[in-house]
Structure 1
Amino acid sequence: MLYDYIKEHYKEAEPIFFSDLEREDISKSALNQQLKKLCDKELLRKYDIGVYYLPKRTMFHSVVGPNADMVARYRFISKGKNIDGFYGGNSFANQIGITTQVPRVVEIVSNNTNSSDRKVRIGNRWFYVRKPVVHITKENVYVLQMLELLKNLDAYLDYSYTEAKEKFAEYIAIHEIKRSDVDCYIRNYPMSTFKYYYELELDHVLA
């Protein structure tokens, strides 16, 4: 039974994607009908097109579900042990502390998109999703995220190169990025990535 499967594999308030429930032995229309029945019984809630969740009841009996950022993270960045993307642009620049700008549109680089860059609306939020230069895996995600930011560093940098170097050095140490990791992927990026990489003297930071 579909509901039993959902209860076994998903937590309350966790995004459930229609595409993840599809099977060869059931048509899309039949699956839609089953999901609608569960929603009618209030065993399941619909968050957005193709996105559902098991309602979580609070102590005040209101229902809690996922938010737009959580749905975007599950769809484009990570779900379970899978890593398919990372935050880019001002979103990541703000996270590591080289800019104070807070983006209105969160930028994501993800395997889970088509070849063209696109804006995606989830709930009441907008996300800008781009295809990666190199396929993202859990082994290379941190080095690719760093190289992606270096590609257009001046567009995001609010501080000096010296301060930026310190922030990148912290990131490199936390995620144990090695020179061999950079050497493996940097040639897939434009010359601007090389330029900023050497101007920040990151080669001296790497092991």
Structure 2
Amino acid sequence: MNKLYEVIIKEYGYDEPVFTKELKKRIDMSDEALRQNVKRLSDIGDLIKVKNGIYYLPRASNILKKPRVNIDKVIRRRYIKPIDKNVIGYISGTNFANQLGLTSQTASVPTIVTNEAGRLEYEVTFGKKVVKLKKPRIKINDQNYKLLQVLDLLNDYDRVSEIPLEKGSSLIKKYLQNSNITISELNQHLKKYPRKTLENVIEMELYNELA
């Protein structure tokens, strides 16, 4: 069995997003050898290309049916939570407000704030799915992503929420439960946001929750 194929099965499994960028760190192989092996597996159908640098192993019984990897999973692994790594991004905008129950609306083009964004704001396409990427105000990690997600929400609250902040604040506070956010951290992060974000933080009495 091909050495690269064995590594992919062991580390990822079938129908899971496989990023060549990650593979370089998981296998002792030169860049050229990796490219040749990826091409060889792709040519014989053992490895299916989703997009440049992104592949997956189809289950043998499904090859003739031309299966497709879950695109949402590809996007999550690429921009939000890579396998075996820290959080690097989060859903923002209307779709996050919808997750919290603040609106019944959803955006056809979801917004993801991610450390992987190379520019301030732009769109990428995966098959037929379009995603808007935004650069974070502060580098995202496991500890701060929920706070940054909420601060982004509060900055755009009037635009993305269907209910007033007075009623929506309880849903936001519930989301932040067990996040271990300190007042000091909140103040540090707020320095990167417009004044209206601070005003909404004060209105929803978030400081009282952290005191």
State TM-score, norm by structure 1.
Answer: 0.88
Percent of paired sites with the same residue: 32
- Assess, with a 3 A threshold, how the Cα gap between structure 1 residues 165 and 180 changes in structure 2: closer, same or farther: same
- Assess, with a 3 A threshold, how the Cα gap between structure 1 residues 59 and 49 changes in structure 2: closer, same or farther: closer
Spell out the pairing of 1:1-207 with structure 2 (5 A cutoff). 1-22=3-24, 26-28=30-32, 30-56=33-59, 62=65, 64-79=67-82, 80-173=84-177, 175-207=179-211
SS in 2 for 1:14: coil
Aligned counterparts of 2:94 and 2:118: Cα–Cα separation in 1: 22
Aligned counterparts of 1:188 and 1:135: Cα–Cα separation in 2: 11
Query: How many pairs were matched up?
Result: 206
Structure 2's unaligned 5+ residue stretches are none
Q: Deviations over 1:136-186 (max 9, x none)?
A: 111111111111111111111101222211111211225344434312311
Contact 1:76 1:110 in 2 (8 A): yes
State TM-score, norm by structure 2.
Answer: 0.87
CA drift of 1:47 comes to 1.8
Contact 1:48 1:122 in 2 (8 A): yes
RMSD over aligned Cα, in angstroms? 2.4
Contact 1:15 1:53 in 2 (8 A): yes
- AA of the residue aligned to 1:138: D
SS in 2 for 1:134: coil
Contact 1:76 1:85 in 2 (8 A): yes
